[in-house]
Amino acid sequence: MASISLVLTSIFGFLAVALGAFGAHGLKDKLSPEMMAVYHTAVQYHFFHTLALLGVTVLLAQGLSHGALKATVWLFTLGIVIFSGSLYALAITEIRVLGAITPIGGTLFLIGWLCLAVAGWKAL
């Protein structure tokens, strides 16, 4: 599981840097300030949860393999895709209905953090 998590973390890290740079340099003159703020939020949460995923990967590599920790990997992964992905798409297309699915990704992030807490509790 640590290997899968490391691959996912690496891909998400690469994409966070690439999409952040694209937004800062390629979109700054094309998006309204409101949509630029939406894009910035997508990048922030993408980065935060990529770094959290890296921490989870380290724990998995050290042998901590509680089911809740494994669930955290998938919850953060889906959270990045749905939360940040919907905001990236919203910012670029301005199709406002895309914002309606963003809270699903946010909920996945929250559940992921709870699973991480459970894994920590079980490791005590």
Q: How far apart are CA 35 and CA 84, in angstroms?
A: 13
Residue 10 CB contacts under 8 Å (≥ 6 apart), including other chains: none
pLDDT tens digits along 14-60: 999 999 999 999 999 999 999 999 999 999 999 999 999 999 999 99
Q: How far apart are CA 101 and CA 83, in angstroms?
A: 7
**C-beta separation of 58 from 46 below 8 A:** no
In the structure, how many helices (H) and strands (E) does the chain have? Answer: 5, 0
Residue 65 has pLDDT above 90, yes or no: no
Matching residue, tokens 């079980």: 122
> pTM of the entire structure?
0.96
**C-beta separation of 95 from 89 below 8 A:** yes
- Over range 89-95, report the average pLDDT: 97
